[in-house]
Each structure stands twice: as C-alpha cells, then as structure tokens.
Amino acid sequence: MTDAPRTRPSATADDSGHGGLQTFVTAGPSTIIADVAVASGGLDLGPDPHELVCAGLAACTSMTLRLYANRKNWDVTAMHVEVFHHFDADQVPHDRFERVLTLEGNLNEEQRERLFEIAEKCPIHKLLTGGARVVTTVGEQ
C-alpha cells in the first residue's frame, strides 16, 4: 500500500455544537446541514447520512448518463433519477438501493436500453456494489 500525500479532503463533517445531531457537511464548495428525523433524536433539518448516499448515487447516475448521451449525440431532453434506500433485515447485505430512471427525448428502445446499461457503470454504483475500504486515523488537535 502506498501512502498518497493528503490534499484537501473530499468532505468534512463538523458537529454544530447545538446539542443535537445536526452536522455541517462540506463537500466541494458547498456546505449543508445533515441531520436525522425527530424520532431518531434529530431535528430533521437536513438529509440523513443514508439520504446523502442516495443523493450521491442519483447525481452520479444522472451525470454518467448525460455524458454518454452527449457523446453519442442522442436526444435526451431531460432525465430524472430517484433513489430509495431500504433496509432488509433478512437479506445480506441488509442495505438495498432502488434506482428509478425516467428518460425524456427522442430515443428508440435500443438507446433506452443502452442508457439503462450505462447506469450500471456509474462510479458510485460500482463503489456501492463492489465495496470500498475505509481507513480511520487519528487527526491532530
């Protein structure tokens, strides 16, 4: 394993300090509040961590399909990606993501089918289905 030099982090999370579960999450140039539902101890002020993962899958899918359609000069006028998270206690793995694609434009059935295949090649889809390593270290104070 090689140690790559650390650069700017891909994301950061800072406790809001307000006594709840609200967390300031910064990714790229944007900061949002993450939270959990009131029933889970939060104030429901922002997406929960599972919703953030769903958002990453939805965004990556949309971007992957747009890049492919543009490269092929296909007439995709709009696309909509919905992602649902389910916890199936009786299945392994327990987490399941359901993705629903809606494509608009002048596309034949072969082109539509190809775009559904391309959705499976989205990098976040591959990450979720292939797994990843998480290495935790102690930061400096």
Q: Where are the domains of the chain?
A: 1-46, 49-130
Q: Which CATH entry fits the domain spanning 49-130: 3.30.300.20, 2.40.160.20, 3.30.1490.100, 3.30.530.20?
A: 3.30.300.20
Amino acid sitting at position 56: G
Report the mean per-residue pLDDT for the chain. Answer: 93
CA-CA-CA-CA torsion sign (37, 55, 11, 124) = positive
Q: How far is CA 6 from the centre of its chain?
A: 23
Contact 119, 126 (CB under 8 A): no
Mean local confidence (pLDDT), 122-140: 93
Confidence of residue 43 (pLDDT cuts 50, 70, 90): very high
Confidence of residue 19 (pLDDT cuts 50, 70, 90): confident
Taking the whole predicted model, whether its pTM rises above 0.85 is answered as yes
What pLDDT is recorded for position 55? 97
